[in-house]
Amino acid sequence: MRHPNRSWVRTLLAGAALTAFALPGLAADDEKKADATKKADAEKKAVDKLVTVRGRVVRVEPGQRQLTLRTRQGKDVTVSIDDRTSLQQDEKQVPLAQFREGDRVRVVYDTKDGKNRALSVRNPMLGLTILQGLKQGLELARGYTFQQRAEYQKKLEAALRGLDEEIDNLEDKADQAAGDARQRLNEDLKDLRQRRKQVQEKIDKVREASSENWDQVKSALDTAINELQKRVERSHSQNR
């Protein structure tokens, strides 16, 4: 009876041993990736529950700790204020009573048990402040790697929220303008909204990116962001 070649047997056993050692490592890597995905999903869901509205104050009730604003669409939104609410005007903390009827405000709130709880209430940032924040946020985001994609996405979405304020400022200017100026502002708004939508669609793809296509996804996004930033700066310069 022939015995199997001993060299072949040793090779087979060595391969089995390597596989046995490698599998736990691979499983750990898979578990880390799954945990990172779950964490990113949980953070996105938490953000998705927050609502941001912009409008003008129609009622301030310091005694009841409530504020009501009317959105551009004509909807009244009442929010409650508590000790965790950040109240700011010109980036300084102020009491609720300092807000007045007619003030433009940006409110971030969540809803629980049918009640809107404000996380922040503040007046809109000036256009130059928005541009500086947008530029800084985008430049910082460009240096992120594939392993930092969740943080990369958060930075870009924060920058887009700043852009939303600039769009809101332009909408106010368009409402008050007439003739050619109004037409130009409306054209700028249409273009900015479209470009913002395109960037958001590319940001959404970041969560699905793999290490193999990361450079391609990021390059396409960087290009879209560069074009958006140039358009925002040009619009701000023309409509100051």
pLDDT of residue 52: 87
pLDDT of residue 66: 97
For the chain, the structural domain boundaries read: 51-122, 127-238
Q: How far apart are CA 121 and CA 109, in angstroms?
A: 9
**For residue 69, which amino acid is it?**
L
pLDDT tens string, the chain, 240 residues long: the values are 555 556 655 665 556 555 555 556 555 555 655 555 555 444 444 444 899 888 899 999 999 999 999 998 899 999 999 999 999 988 789 999 999 999 989 899 999 989 999 999 998 765 555 566 666 666 666 677 888 888 888 878 877 877 787 788 788 888 888 988 889 888 988 988 898 888 888 888 888 889 899 888 888 888 887 788 788 777 767 766
Q: How far apart are CA 185 and CA 54, in angstroms?
A: 19
Does residue 104 contact residue 55 with C-beta atoms inside 8 Å? Answer: yes
pLDDT of residue 121: 95
pLDDT of residue 40: 47
Q: How far apart are CA 170 and CA 195, in angstroms?
A: 15
Q: Quick check: pTM over 0.85? A: no
The candidate with the shortest Cα–Cα distance to 96, out of 109, 111, 82, is 82
pLDDT of residue 58: 97
Give the CATH fold of the 51-122 domain.
OB fold (Dihydrolipoamide Acetyltransferase, E2P) (2.40.50)
pLDDT of residue 230: 80
**For residue 216, which amino acid is it?**
Q
